[in-house]
Amino acid sequence: MNTTRLQRDELRSLFAPSAGPSERIGLEIESGIVDPETGLAAPYTGRNGVKAILETLIAEWGGEAQHDAGELIGVKLSDGVLIGLEHGGQVEYSSAPAADLVTVVDDARAALERLSEIVKRFGWALLPGAYLPFDKIDSIPWVPMSRGRVMRDFFARIGDAGRDAPKILSMSLCTQVHLDFFSHEDFTRKLRMQAAASPVVAALFVNSPLQNGRLTGLLSHRSHDWLWTDPQRCGVMGPALRGDVGADHIIDWALRLPMIYYLGPDGRYQPAPDRPFATILEQGFEDGSMPTFAHWVSHMTQTWTHVRARRTLELRAADGPPYQHIPAVPALWVGLSYHPPSRDAAWELLRQYSVEEQRTAMLRLPVEGLHTMLGGDRMDELARELVRLARAGLRARVEAGLERPKALDYLDPLDEVLHTGETFAEQCARRWETDLGRDPRRYVAAFRV
């Protein structure tokens, strides 16, 4: 039994700068495994279930099986790629880190297309995006992960603040980006800009207008549901908007949050004590053991802010775009983050907006998209400037030999959105009412891998 108390320096070590020779890019893409006729999510069990798909993937691709309490929930491949499951059977591709955009995008496309071929053999379709558009929360086929039940119980216990967490767990999809930082100063400059830009990025990428097969007036059901998934640990993270934000500000913020779950000695996740992590650091768990560094790492994964800071900066604000436009997400963030003049100009553009102004904007954004006001300014105008800065950043990286020219093309769909004023969500809604004929089969055919 561990009886040693974690020290502050150990907590800080989770935010250690990268020691690599260059800034790398990681990409995560979540997709539904759905019926091509109805669009409904595949079950976990059964001859053609998601578990059988993972078993086939391991048999054909190799790799190390990942389990939760004996249940197969993913596979780690020899090249560092992780294919894992979310709670509603969504499958997440997590790339190995790459030095440039074209490599990480090409690798992701190759892996997803191979995965799609396996999924198709089982009678399903691989459907990226931002939300499972045809399922209902009372019929979603939950994956039997031990932490899933603990999480659902936790969110039920906090009442209205956690009312939409089951939808996030089981129906939300996302395209996320991981970026490096090289020093404590670099951490500050990147994190504060990324946090300030995240609501604008969320407005630019809205892409989940359908729920239960209906248009409800929302452009982003995903952004809406995050508002009701324990706001103290999701969405806008106040300390990240400080001009001098550092690891200690993030640590202090996280220490005030209660832990949701931890891994018990039997290999199953169990509810954590209902008290802040700082108190658990002082008093330990119910059995008298003290939290380890692994518990601290786990606690930090139980936060879902727009930017999740750990050994990388994980950018989570954007809805997953249509499959062909997925490269726009990493291209925007790399152009803004990995070119210091663009990064600093973006911070100067956005530093004036307060935490409350950001939170107010996020309340309106699911309905208003790019027409949302941030403070006294429209999101579309701010987004136009961010895309311009990102393109300048990518162009500088191309000229320096850090990117291939093809990377600049990845931003073109965002230029089109801003030129037409029609977001991915509005494009989808228009198509749903016209050429897709409100037909799930046509929807899946249009947007699958």
Please give the full DSSP string across 330-362, using - where no structure is assigned: HHHHHHHHSSHHHHHHHHHHHTT--HHHHHHHH
At residue 74, the pLDDT reads 98
Distance CA 391, CA 389 (A): 5
Among candidate residues 441, 433, 436, 409, the one with its CA nearest the CA of residue 106: 409
Q: Specify whether the CB–CB gap between 108 and 186 falls below 8 A.
A: no
Contact by Cβ (8 Å): 200, 374: yes
**Using one digit for the tens of pLDDT, what is the confidence trace for 166-205?**
999 999 999 999 999 999 999 999 999 999 999 999 999 9
DSSP assignment, residue 258? B
CA nearest neighbour of 109 among 227, 189, 188, 27: 27
Q: Report pLDDT digits (tens) over 388-422.
A: 999 999 999 999 999 999 999 999 999 999 999 99
pTM of the model: 0.97
Q: Is 354 exposed, middle or buried (0-12, 13-18, 19+ CB in 10 A)?
A: exposed
Rg (CA), the chain: 21
Single-letter code of the amino acid located at 160: D
Query: 132, 55 in Cβ contact below 8 A?
Result: no
User: What pLDDT sits at residue 42?
Assistant: 98
Distance (Å, whole) CA 253 – CA 247: 10
- Give the per-residue pLDDT at 1: 60
Residue 55 to residues 47, 69, 145, 212, 430, Cα–Cα distance (Å): 11, 17, 17, 30, 39
Residue with tokens 């020779």: 21
CA 81 to chain centre: 16
C-alpha separations of 48 from 14, 34, 42, 53, 120 in Å: 40, 12, 8, 7, 10
| Closest C-alpha among 285, 316, 312 to residue 303 | 316
Give the residue ranges of the chain where pLDDT is below 50: none
- Nearest CA-CA partner of 205 in 423, 380, 26, 389: 423
- SS3 of 264, please? coil
Q: Give the pLDDT confidence score for residue 433 in this predicted structure.
A: 98
